[in-house]
Structure formats: structure tokens, C-alpha cells
Amino acid sequence: MARHARRRSVALLAALALVAGEVPLGAQGEPSIARVGITGNLRVEEDAIRVHLRSQPGQPFDQDTIDRDIRSVYAMGFFDQVDADVTRLPENRVEVVFRVKERPLVRAVKIEGNKKVKREELEGALKIRAHTILDPEKARQGLEAGKKLYVEKGYLDAELTYSTEPVGENEVDVLYKVEEHGPVKVVEVGFEGNKAFSARKLRGVMQTREKWFLGFITGAGVLNKEVLRTDVERLTAWYYDHGYVTVRVDEPRVERRDDGLHVTVKIDEGDQYQVGEVAVAGENTPADTKALLQGLAITPGEVFKASALREDTQKLTERLSEDGYAFASVEPETEMRPDDKRVDITYKVERGKPVVVDRIEVTGNSKTRDKVIRREMRLQEQELFSASKLRKSREALQRLGFFQSVNITTRRAGEDDRMQVVVDV
């Protein structure tokens, strides 16, 4: 900031003091500030600048306070330069004038050369906006963010520059030029630590692909950092779904060599776990929990599968809703037993109260009479809620062929055991 914001104290020369018969600053005690002026501001309101000044008329002159004021005004971010002139006045007083040089206003932002990245996406990274004060530091940060955006999409050699063109009184157009060059291709995807599954099998799980001669059609070989991060989640989910519940997939290493990019994924597989005990718990659970658990995909003694756990949770929720428990919640809890490599599963069930359909409301209907819609509803007012009947009602209405879309939603009707059904067609 020192090269931008400098202070200038205009003191009387000794010869001038002798001629005028005046005493230099400080000889008669600290002078007081008579006036504080501001000059050079074009768009920034004077009051907005004064808010940052501690130097005020009537106060003793203090050079440290002047220096602090200069720094404070410069920190507003609107000025390239801030100076302070101090002029001696009669009666041991001084006038302080802060001179500012405003940064130009950005009239328009232009981007040239971008083909692989949309303008809207690039503008979001570049930070500079039209009708704002040009901030060189933000412009520099924007270039770095734009470069990073291209790297994320595999364009490691992309170059971005910016320039300004004066277009009016202290106004500029900002021009960004992009040289994208070609993407650096992925030539190898390898793994370390994989024993249960081959590298070929794991590569099939990932979306990041090695380049091949038809890669220009499929996009194979292009490195996208966001996709690569998602690949870590895909690999982790794959292992979870095959019983490896303690697996750790590290962030892939990307190495650039003469022939292209080499991606290496380190995996600590851990041990394979099987399903241990399966139980149901909760304050308001069904009496026949054995019947509730019958036919689930999760079976004791089989390899644990995370996807099966999710499916069974949904299935249990639907089973409860068939008995009218529309607001029932099912939360699976797992406990690992490292000694015998088992995962115990407990479904925490809270049924709530049986829910009755209080009212069925029809909205958006302009094709037929409401009674036609109500006739097709498998779910009726004043009967227990049923998820399957709700689903069959939607299917029946769609088969009528009258409506482009059928949307059925539910909401509480003011009480825990009452529900309103809204049919929007």
C-alpha cells in the first residue's frame, strides 16, 4: 500500500517563516485543525469518505492520525492513490486536504477465446463485474480462479490475460483473452492396494476414463477434477456394497508425464463384513416384528450391502404406511463387530398414530368433472392412509389420458392422525 498511499505534509519553509515572522509548527504548541477538505473524488460520495476520517475540525493536529486516515480511506478499495496535504494557517491552525485518485469504473466486461467453458461459468470465476469499481487485486484473483476452472476441466495449459481500454472519463472496458489449447489426456488409471477387485473392474466403476481412439465421441481421456472427486465416492460406495465397510479411498494422485496424465488411486480395502443380527427397536413398534422383517434383502450371514440396507429401509417404511402409519419413520443403525467381521443392524421404528384421510382436494382440473377424478381414486376420504392405494390412484388418473401430468401430494390436516390429499392435474 505504501507505493499507492503516501502522505505529503506541506510545512512552511524556514525562510518563509522568517519573512512572515511566523513560528514553525509545534513551536506554539500543537496546532488545531481548521478545515478538512476532500478533493479528487468523482463517483464516491464525500460523506462516504469522511466516515473513515478521525481528523476533524477543532481537534489538535496529529500526524499519526493523518497517516491512519490515509490507510483507512485507501482500504475502502475505491482509490489508486490517497494523499494528504497539510497547509499552515494563521493563529496556529492548519488545513488538511485529502486528495484521492479514484479507480476507474468498469463499463463492460468482454471475454474472447472461450469455447470449452461457457461465458456465464467463466464470469462467475473472474469476479470483475460491469458497473463496479475496478479492483486490480480482484482482477488478479479472477485470473487465478479462471485458470483453476480450466484445470478442473482438463485444460492444464490454458492461458488467461486481461487488459483495460479507456472508454470515457475514468471508465474502462475490461477484456479477458483466453487461449484454451487442448486438454491434456489421461493415458493411465491405476490403483494401489486393491486385492478384492481387479484394476479393470474398478476402472469400470469410475467415470474418469483412459483415452482411446474414439474418445472424442465419449469424452474418454479428459480429466475433470470434479468428476475425479466423485469417482472417489463411487469407488467407496462400490466397496461398501460388497461388504468392505472400513474401506478408505484416498484422493487420486495426478502426475503429468510426457505422454499425458497418469492417475493413481490408493485404496485401503480393509476386511469384508457379513450381516450379523437384524432387529427392530422403538417405543411404538409393531407386535409382530418377525413379519415386518420378512422378505428383506438384508439376510444374516450374507455379505453386507449398503444399497440393500437403503432399499430395506424404504420397504419397511412402505409396509408401515400400508397399515395407515403415514408418518412412520425408520432409521437404520449399524454396529460393526471387528472380531468376527459382522455388522449388526437395528431398525429404529417410530410408527406414530394411524392416519385417516381427512379430505381429498382436486386442483387444476379443466378437462372433466371432479367426480370423474374422485371415482378413479383408490384412496377415499375417512379411510386409513395407504401408500399403495395412493400410487394406484395416480396410475389410474394417468390412464384416463385427460391430463398432461398428475401430481398427488399429502400434508397434515392439523392433527397427527389426519391427512389431506391434494390431486393436482
For the stretch 98-146, pLDDT in tens is 999 999 999 999 999 999 899 999 998 998 899 999 998 888 999 999 9
pLDDT at 220: 66
Q: How far is residue 239's CA from residue 248's CA, in Å, rounded to a whole number? A: 9
pLDDT at 321: 86
Question: Does 3 fall in a domain?
Answer: no
Q: What is the pTM of this model?
A: 0.62
pLDDT band, residue 167 (cuts 50/70/90):
very high
pLDDT band, residue 277 (cuts 50/70/90):
very high
Question: Does 64 fall in a domain?
Answer: yes
Q: Do 252 and 190 share a structural domain?
A: yes
Question: Does 56 fall in a domain?
Answer: yes
The tally of CA atoms less than 13 A away on the side-chain side of residue 83 is: 10
Q: Do 118 and 95 share a structural domain?
A: no
Quick one: average pLDDT of 285-294? 74
Last residue of a domain, one of 161, 179, 197: 179
Question: Does 1 fall in a domain?
Answer: no
Q: For 30-43, what is each residue's pLDDT tens digit?
A: 899 999 999 999 99
Asked if the model's pLDDT at residue 24 lies above 70, the reply is no
Last residue of a domain, one of 162, 179, 196: 179
Asked if the model's pLDDT at residue 21 lies above 60, the reply is no
Contact 124, 149 (CB under 8 A): no
Parent domain of 204: 186-268
Q: Do 169 and 145 share a structural domain?
A: yes
Q: How far is residue 195's CA from residue 359's CA, in Å, rounded to a whole number? A: 58
pLDDT at 367: 81
Q: Do 192 and 164 share a structural domain?
A: no
Question: Does 291 fall in a domain?
Answer: yes
Q: How far is residue 208's CA from residue 219's CA, in Å, rounded to a whole number? A: 9
Q: How far is residue 407's CA from residue 277's CA, in Å, rounded to a whole number? A: 40
pLDDT band, residue 6 (cuts 50/70/90):
very low
- Hey, what's the cell of 154? 482438463
Phi, psi of 217 (to 5 degrees): -85, -45
Q: Do 78 and 40 share a structural domain?
A: yes
pLDDT at 5: 43
pLDDT band, residue 14 (cuts 50/70/90):
very low
CATH number, domain of 190, equals 3.10.20.310
Q: Do 165 and 213 share a structural domain?
A: no
Q: For 184-236, what is each residue's pLDDT tens digit?
A: 889 999 999 999 999 999 999 999 988 765 555 455 677 888 899 999 999 99
Question: Does 2 fall in a domain?
Answer: no
Burial of 27 (0-12, 13-18, 19+ CB in 10 A): exposed
Residue type, 368: T
Q: Do 157 and 230 share a structural domain?
A: no
Q: Do 18 and 76 share a structural domain?
A: yes
Q: Do 76 and 12 share a structural domain?
A: yes
Domain total in the chain: 5
Q: Do 244 and 175 share a structural domain?
A: no
pLDDT at 302: 95
Q: How far is residue 43's CA from residue 353's CA, in Å, rounded to a whole number? A: 65
Question: Does 243 fall in a domain?
Answer: yes
Last residue of a domain, one of 331, 350, 369: 350
